[in-house]
């Protein structure tokens, strides 16, 4: 999705006109933010870093810096003057201790694939890149785990696990670039969460370095360890604001022997929900994905990208994947499930396939929706979670609300199994009036229904002022206290996660 | 296991002679501990509590207090003079605010089924019992979750879920008494962890009250919510020292339609491990338990309790349970697995059954081992986790080390699938010399191999001085800082989890 035009926070909307029209202006010039009271990088600092690492791992060349300063969506641009590439936990510790003593702000960065600006500098923070910390330390066949450094790329880990008959418990679109340290620091979700759970569930242990350079060894390869407070969870999903994750251990499920898919059509969301409920019961332990698309999402995708739906138009579609240890059993279960869904009337049409090329085609219909959304329009995107009863209701509500506006489409698709909806509003170009109709309305609507304003993307830089719609005042106050405890000088990833006071 | 004779920490060994010989002496008299500088309970405090709650929920009768003052193993006895029974989060908040202001120490208590003294007072702490907070608030069929108050009994929740086709993700021996708030506060493990993961993985949200009475609402029924720090994890497994959990939301898997078991014999631990590895691959998504017993454990159980093993004597036995959505498929998989294990030579003998009465008999062989251990001997018990390569090695090491000692048996059994070993040393009676041969040797041995000195039972009161064998100095220092942050006056469950400084 690099280069796509996306919606940013309203208070930062100056950025919206930036990239497309006149090239990317620095975030610090566009956003109304005050730089923290940190030291400016000096030659003496640089000399120290070169003594700590060596010249090749202290990057100051401006052209080279761009890849680290600019975010995945190419809508934010930091002004860092140096990128440091440590090779070990000890080097990370030495860097942070020095930065802490010198009052230099630091942004930890993995594969830089975050979509909310959590991994790019806002001003001139020092970038600490984990990309050279890419060693696999150990793969345990029983009961299945991997221990590695934070800079390992997700796809590399998954490939290394193949010969051990294991897989990583999570799978993301960015798997070719994203790093496991970043995944864990953002509690990344993705396609396998329905089956295997979150990274909070699958991270067995980690080593993190605190802002002052203290190495906190919470490494563990055990499934059970109830000794003291479970500190590792503080670093999972806190987006590098409480410490820099340098090594991790992740539990890895057995690699499925068979994968089979079904593509189903139905005439109402209620029926989609009934079908999902049936899948939970009948497919139970082999259900690995349950994705939903509304008619508008699929039509836009097939029309824009010249793809073909394998079944006639319906109001809703479910893409169901099962994965297990016995192809015959899995197909048997899936066929019986489909027959039941058709005879009960919750599904009108559908097909089952285990042919890899056909399964790939089916996944394209789902995975390329964002590409279609961006192709000929400006897209306001919301990545939200809602209780299933309210999962799709926001779409008709917005269609009603936006009648007469510039919006020409309101669509919804997403991980139905996880209650995670991708809500999208398309208009010919960015419109402040349309944005004002959307926000804070959407967030208030979600808040009233106990939903989450960020299901899997985190808070990063661009969503800090929306945190209050999903977390109570007392909780945010406690978060601030935890931040002060772990990083009293606030040098680690400033301006992120917690709203400015 | 109530009333059993069990090993306590060496520094508290005076307790060991207590219960059997002369009745239970108060922990405060037996242990060399200094009472914290807390206020003494006064009549004015009691009057205030009676105004807050009402007389029936402020218990001061000494005979009635015993059930709350004495722990599950009946080896610890607190000297609390009052038990408070709030009915709501708001009442818990009012109690804690008052106790915080008055500097009264408080022990939160659920079903009082903990085995390390985490839920009983050491001195005269006020007992805050959650037992009247037992409302089920909501069951969500899709995707499967339950929201309830902390005092709900695990078995009650599991029964309520049955008609929704769901189960609780964890199952414990104490399910008839233990409460969900206590389960979560201790991150309780149990029999289903191999399949469904820990309570850190399955707790969707919770409400906790901090020491000063602040209500921290981390309630959530969503599977995905990446907004800010994941504070709920601080309360899971911290044994009531950071806050009192008052409401919880737990995700609930579909109730299996079929359960089948196998009981296998093999001639070495290496073969047991090979068989488990094969089960992970061939039974994969339906594997729900993999328990191991050595010959000494089974022989002791069958001899002492007059039970019968369904197969001839072997060096090791595996009890494997599969649970799924299709009986035919599951039996098919289990039979194919057993044939492969026999033909590969990793299993010498075995049987498969889906008959409920026979499955119950098989479970008895495993579940009644502790009863057999206690029946005619004194048992030193260790609940530990180890990487699978080292899982059983401690048993022969100890047999060698203890030759010529009073110990007449060293046995090992446990949750092989989770790497969780129950190590037991039996002697005719308690012997300080034998204890000195065991400790700190066992903990050092575990520490050197990256194991955990408490797999599922927590630290509680009796294991605080062993925390250092599984957690680094920096980690323990950070834990102390977190404790100070959440409970600056240290009124919540003092003397627990963290070692005395």
- pLDDT tens-digit series, residues B283-294: 999 999 999 999
> How many Cβ atoms are within 10 Å of B242's Cβ, its own excluded?
26
State how far residue B212 is from chain A, nearest Cα, in angstroms.
12
CB contact under 8 A, A227 and B485: no
Q: Say which range, A207-216, A280-289, B12-21, B299-308, has the weakest mean pLDDT.
A: B12-21
Distances (CA, A) of B339 to A122, A325, B76, B319, B349: 61, 16, 50, 16, 10
CB contact under 8 A, B216 and A478: yes
Rounded average pLDDT over B322-327 = 96
User: Tell me, what's the pLDDT at A36?
Assistant: 96
CB contact under 8 A, A455 and B142: no
CB contact under 8 A, B197 and A200: no
Compare all CA atoms of chain A with the CA of B198 and give the residue at the minimum distance. A201
| CB contact at 8 A, B436 and B405 | no
Rounded average pLDDT over B416-439 = 95
Residue with the larger pLDDT of the pair B109 and B376:
B109
CA–CA separation, A128 vs A399, rounded Å?
Answer: 44
| CB contact at 8 A, A205 and A248 | yes
User: Tell me, what's the pLDDT at B304?
Assistant: 95
Q: pLDDT at residue B332 above 90?
A: yes
User: Tell me, what's the pLDDT at A456?
Assistant: 93
Distances (CA, A) of A72 to A132, B80, B394: 20, 59, 50
State how far residue B331 is from chain A, nearest Cα, in angstroms.
11
CA–CA separation, A167 vs A157, rounded Å?
Answer: 8
From B140, B202, B476, residue closest to A228, measured CB to CB: B476
pTM of the model: 0.95
- In the DSSP assignment, the letter for residue B315 is S
Q: Which residues of chain B make contact with A224, given a CB cutoff of 8 A?
A: 189, 193, 198, 385, 415, 418-420, 452, 455-456
CA–CA separation, B487 vs B494, rounded Å?
Answer: 10
User: Tell me, what's the pLDDT at B1?
Assistant: 32
Peptide bond into A143 cis (omega under 30): yes
CB contact under 8 A, B227 and A453: yes
CB contact under 8 A, A282 and B325: yes
Tokens standing for residue A223: 């499934």
Q: What percent of chain B has pLDDT over 90?
A: 89
User: Tell me, what's the pLDDT at A33?
Assistant: 82
User: Tell me, what's the pLDDT at A12?
Assistant: 43
CA–CA separation, B366 vs B303, rounded Å?
Answer: 14
- pLDDT tens-digit series, residues B453-468: 999 999 999 999 999 9
User: Tell me, what's the pLDDT at B290?
Assistant: 96
Predicted confidence band at A55 (pLDDT cuts at 50, 70, 90)? confident
Predicted confidence band at A489 (pLDDT cuts at 50, 70, 90)? very high
CB contact under 8 A, B143 and A215: no
From B144, B218, B474, residue closest to A475, measured CB to CB: B218
From A254, A419, A474, residue closest to B216, measured CB to CB: A474
State how far residue B198 is from chain A, nearest Cα, in angstroms.
8
User: Tell me, what's the pLDDT at A375?
Assistant: 86
Q: Which residues of chain A make contact with B218, given a CB cutoff of 8 A?
A: 475
Rounded average pLDDT over B378-399 = 96
Predicted confidence band at A376 (pLDDT cuts at 50, 70, 90)? confident
Predicted confidence band at A3 (pLDDT cuts at 50, 70, 90)? very low
Tokens standing for residue A251: 């539990």
Q: What share of chain A is helix, strand, coil (3-state, %, to 5)?
A: 40, 20, 40
- In the DSSP assignment, the letter for residue A166 is B
Residue of B167, B229, B271 to mutate, testing the A interface (most A Cβ within 10 Å of its Cβ): B229
User: Tell me, what's the pLDDT at A218?
Assistant: 97
- pLDDT tens-digit series, residues B139-188: 999 889 999 999 999 999 999 999 999 999 999 889 999 999 999 999 99
User: Tell me, what's the pLDDT at A14?
Assistant: 37
Q: For B109, list phi and psi in degrees, rounded to 5.
A: -140, 130
From B186, B201, B215, residue closest to A197, measured CB to CB: B201
Q: pLDDT at residue A23 above 80?
A: no
- pLDDT tens-digit series, residues B4-60: 344 444 334 434 333 343 478 999 998 878 999 999 999 999 999 999 998 899 999
Q: Which residues of chain B make contact with A487, given a CB cutoff of 8 A?
A: none
Compare all CA atoms of chain B with the CA of A229 and give the residue at the minimum distance. B238
CA–CA separation, A391 vs A277, rounded Å?
Answer: 14
Rounded average pLDDT over A293-299 = 97
Q: What share of chain B is helix, strand, coil (3-state, %, to 5)?
A: 40, 20, 40
Helix (H) or strand (E) holding B397: helix B394-401
Predicted confidence band at B194 (pLDDT cuts at 50, 70, 90)? very high
Q: Which residues of chain B make contact with A415, given a CB cutoff of 8 A?
A: 224
Rounded average pLDDT over A363-378 = 90
Residue of B144, B224, B283 to mutate, testing the A interface (most A Cβ within 10 Å of its Cβ): B224
Peptide bond into B398 cis (omega under 30): no
| CB contact at 8 A, B470 and B464 | no
CB contact under 8 A, B256 and A455: no
> How many Cβ atoms are within 10 Å of A1's Cβ, its own excluded?
16
Compare all CA atoms of chain A with the CA of B387 and give the residue at the minimum distance. A222
Handedness of CA A403, A404, A409, A410 (dihedral sign): negative
- pLDDT tens-digit series, residues B77-129: 999 999 999 999 999 999 999 999 999 999 999 999 999 999 999 999 999 99
CB contact under 8 A, B329 and A333: yes
| A412-444 b/e (C-beta count within 10 Å ≥ 16 → b) | bbbbbbbbbbbbbbbbeebbeebbebbbbebbe
User: Tell me, what's the pLDDT at B14?
Assistant: 37
Chain A to chain B Cβ contacts (< 8 Å)? 286
From B165, B225, B385, residue closest to A470, measured CB to CB: B225
- pLDDT tens-digit series, residues B252-269: 999 999 999 999 999 999
Q: What percent of chain A has pLDDT over 70?
A: 95
């Amino acid at each position: 999705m690099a280069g796509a035009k996306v919606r940013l926070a309203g208070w930062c909307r100056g950025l919206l006109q930036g990239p497309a029209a006149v090239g990317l202006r620095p975030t610090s010039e566009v956003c109304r933010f005050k730089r923290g009271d940190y030291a400016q990088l000096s030659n003496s600092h640089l000399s120290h870093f070169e003594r700590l690492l060596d010249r090749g791992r202290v990057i100051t060349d401006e052209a080279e810096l761009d890849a680290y300063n600019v975010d995945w969506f190419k809508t934010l641009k930091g002004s860092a003057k140096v990128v440091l590439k440590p090779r070990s936990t000890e080097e990370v510790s030495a860097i942070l201790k020095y930065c802490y003593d010198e009052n230099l702000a630091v942004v930890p960065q993995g594969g830089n694939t975050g979509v909310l600006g959590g991994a790019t500098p806002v001003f001139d923070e020092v970038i600490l890149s984990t990309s050279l910390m890419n060693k696999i330390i150990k793969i345990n066949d029983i009961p299945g785990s991997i221990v590695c450094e934070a800079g390992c790329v997700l796809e590399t880990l998954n490939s290394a696990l193949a010969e051990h008959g294991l897989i990583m418990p999570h799978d993301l679109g960015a798997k070719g670039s994203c790093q496991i340290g970043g995944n864990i620091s953002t509690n990344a979700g993705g396609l396998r969460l329905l089956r295997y759970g979150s990274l909070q569930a699958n991270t067995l242990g980690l080593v993190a370095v605190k802002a002052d350079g203290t190495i906190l060894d919470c490494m563990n390869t055990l499934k059970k360890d109830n000794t003291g407070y479970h500190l590792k969870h503080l670093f999972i999903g806190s987006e590098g604001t409480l410490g820099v994750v340098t090594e991790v251990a992740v539990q890895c499920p057995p690699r499925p022997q068979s994968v089979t898919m079904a593509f189903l059509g139905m005439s109402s969301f209620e029926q989609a929900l009934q079908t999902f409920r049936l899948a939970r019961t009948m497919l139970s332990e082999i259900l690995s994905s349950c994705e939903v698309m509304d008619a508008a999402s699929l039509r836009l995708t097939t029309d824009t990208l010249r793809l073909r739906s394998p079944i006639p138009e319906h109001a809703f579609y479910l893409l169901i994947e099962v994965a297990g240890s016995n192809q015959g059993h899995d197909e048997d279960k899936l066929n019986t499930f489909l027959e039941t869904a058709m005879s009960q009337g919750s599904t009108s049409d559908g097909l089952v396939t285990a042919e890899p090329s056909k399964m790939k085609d089916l996944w394209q219909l789902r995975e390329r929706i964002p590409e279609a959304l961006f192709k000929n329009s400006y897209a306001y995107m919301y990545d939200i979670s809602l209780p299933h009863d309210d999962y799709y209701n926001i779409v008709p509500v917005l269609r009603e609300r936006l009648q007469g506006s510039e919006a020409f489409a309101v669509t919804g698709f997403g991980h139905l199994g996880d209650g995670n909806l991708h809500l999208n509003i398309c208009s010919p170009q960015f419109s402040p009036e349309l944005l004002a109709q959307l926000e804070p309305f959407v967030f208030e609507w979600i808040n009233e229904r106990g939903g989450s304003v960020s299901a899997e993307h985190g808070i990063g830089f661009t969503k800090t002022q929306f945190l209050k719609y999903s977390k109570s005042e007392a909780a945010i106050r406690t978060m601030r206290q935890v931040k002060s405890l772990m990083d009293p000088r606030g040098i680690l990833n400033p301006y992120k996660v917690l709203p400015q006071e």
